[in-house]
């Protein structure tokens, strides 16, 4: 069931009020990017965490379950923000909930941001955090998932590709929430600009251009920068892909999931009808809570069967 508002726009009932209040265009732009990047510095510490320095350029915020004995399963969580903004701290509450409900250690990585640090800087920081997790004595190296939302989902997919291509230790699961996978989306006109919330193609183009240091859709973009460009997806870890039907990134997420399945990779797709990009940050909405509960469920199935 969905309600029609703003003429032809269709939003999930749980999100219709939010859709009315949210601006049709996101705040990120060339003039506001610096301000948005600094916004993470003002976020309060809402939960107790421990910060570990992984490399001189990256660190992780550690969230632990209430109790535990022996080596624990773990999730490397990568925050969103279009490669150009955000911080691990923004997901503290969500990561603490995942640690508690899935009974795992969650390590949220702070990585370098574009345009100051374009590809491959952020990806290398995320990969270093993954290999650091593999080496920790209190973590079960056979049960480590990689996951993230939006750009974090794209980086998680790239970490899995990098591990496969290098022949390094493989993640046990990819958890990809409305992942940002394909720079070519930014090069095409948006067929439904009126339904976008929190992320539109203008912001998408700015973010990809900052990350790649070239025009989105150009030739020669690495598959590790834009995983949708990977010619071969065989041999990757099982995946859960979450998507929203009013999200600009819907098609690239669903297409990536389809290609994983065609390549023999077990992949579950959860598509939320009437939802927009980043809808699950609206924690009061039932549909957001169900979407997050699905992630917890798949993590428990994969890491604590």
Is 226 within 8 Å of 161 (Cβ atoms)? no
Lowest mean pLDDT of 37-46, 50-59, 190-199, 236-245, name the range. Answer: 37-46
Measure the CA angle with vertex 203, ends 217 and 77; round to 5°. Answer: 90
Rounded to an integer, the average pLDDT of 17-37 is 78
Rounded to an integer, the average pLDDT of 104-117 is 97
For residue 284, the model assigns a pLDDT of: 87
| pLDDT over 60 at 7, yes or no | no
Direct distance between the N- and C-terminal alpha carbons of the chain, in angstroms, rounded to an integer: 34
The verdict on whether 79 is a catalytic residue reads no
Query: How many DSSP H helices and E strands does the chain contain?
Result: 8, 10
Of 90, 74, 128, 111, give the one whose Cα is nearest residue 303: 74
Topology (CATH) of 3-303: Rossmann fold (3.40.50)
| pLDDT over 50 at 3, yes or no | no
Is 186 within 8 Å of 233 (Cβ atoms)? no
pTM of the model: 0.94
Rounded to an integer, the average pLDDT of 123-139 is 97
| pLDDT over 50 at 4, yes or no | no
The verdict on whether 277 is a catalytic residue reads yes
Write phi, then psi, for 214 (nearest 5 degrees).
Answer: -155, 170
Q: What percent of the chain has pLDDT over 70?
A: 95
Lowest mean pLDDT of 44-53, 180-189, 296-305, name the range. Answer: 44-53
Mean pLDDT for the chain overall: 92
For residue 6, the model assigns a pLDDT of: 40
pLDDT in tens, 159-168: 999 999 999 9
Where in the chain are the domains?
A: 3-303
Given 110, 128, 183, 247, the catalytic residue: 247
Given 58, 59, 72, 150, the catalytic residue: 150
Is 139 within 8 Å of 105 (Cβ atoms)? yes
The verdict on whether 297 is a catalytic residue reads no
Token pair 């999200």 is at which residue? 247
| pLDDT over 70 at 101, yes or no | yes
Radius of gyration of the chain (CA): 18
Q: How far apart are CA 61 and CA 200, in angstroms?
A: 29
Chain centroid to CA 116: 20
| pLDDT over 90 at 305, yes or no | no
The CA distances from residue 152 to 2, 65, 123, 185, in Å, are 29, 22, 10, 17
């Amino acid at each position: 069931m969905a309600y029609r508002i703003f003429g032809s726009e269709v939003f999930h009932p749980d999100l219709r009020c939010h859709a009315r209040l949210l601006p049709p265009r996101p705040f990120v732009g060339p003039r506001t990017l610096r301000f948005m990047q600094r916004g993470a510095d003002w976020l309060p510490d809402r939960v107790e965490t421990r910060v570990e320095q992984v490399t001189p350029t990256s660190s992780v915020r550690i969230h632990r379950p209430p109790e535990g004995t022996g080596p624990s399963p773990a999730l490397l969580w990568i925050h969103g923000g279009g490669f150009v903004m955000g911080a691990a701290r923004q997901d503290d509450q969500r990561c603490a909930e995942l640690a508690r409900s899935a009974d795992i250690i969650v390590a949220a990585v702070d990585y370098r941001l574009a345009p100051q640090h374009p590809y491959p800087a952020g990806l290398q920081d995320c990969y270093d955090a993954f290999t650091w997790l593999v080496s920790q004595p209190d973590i079960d190296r056979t049960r480590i998932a990689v996951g993230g939302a939006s750009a974090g989902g794209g980086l998680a997919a790239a970490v899995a590709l990098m591990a496969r291509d290098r022949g390094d230790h493989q993640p046990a699961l990819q958890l990809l929430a409305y992942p940002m996978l394909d720079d070519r989306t930014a090069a095409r006109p948006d067929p439904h600009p009126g339904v976008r919330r929190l992320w539109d193609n203008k912001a998408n183009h700015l973010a990809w251009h900052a990350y790649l240091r070239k025009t989105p859709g150009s030739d020669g973009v690495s598959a590790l920068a834009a995983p949708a460009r990977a010619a071969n997806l065989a041999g990757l870890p099982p995946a859960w892909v979450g998507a929203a039907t009013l999200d600009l990134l819907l098609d690239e997420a669903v297409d990536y999931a389809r290609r994983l399945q065609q390549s023999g990779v077990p992949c579950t797709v959860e598509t939320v009808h009437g939802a927009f990009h980043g809808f699950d940050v609206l924690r009061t909405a039932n549909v957001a809570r169900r979407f997050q509960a699905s992630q917890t469920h798949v993590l428990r199935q994969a890491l604590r069967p």
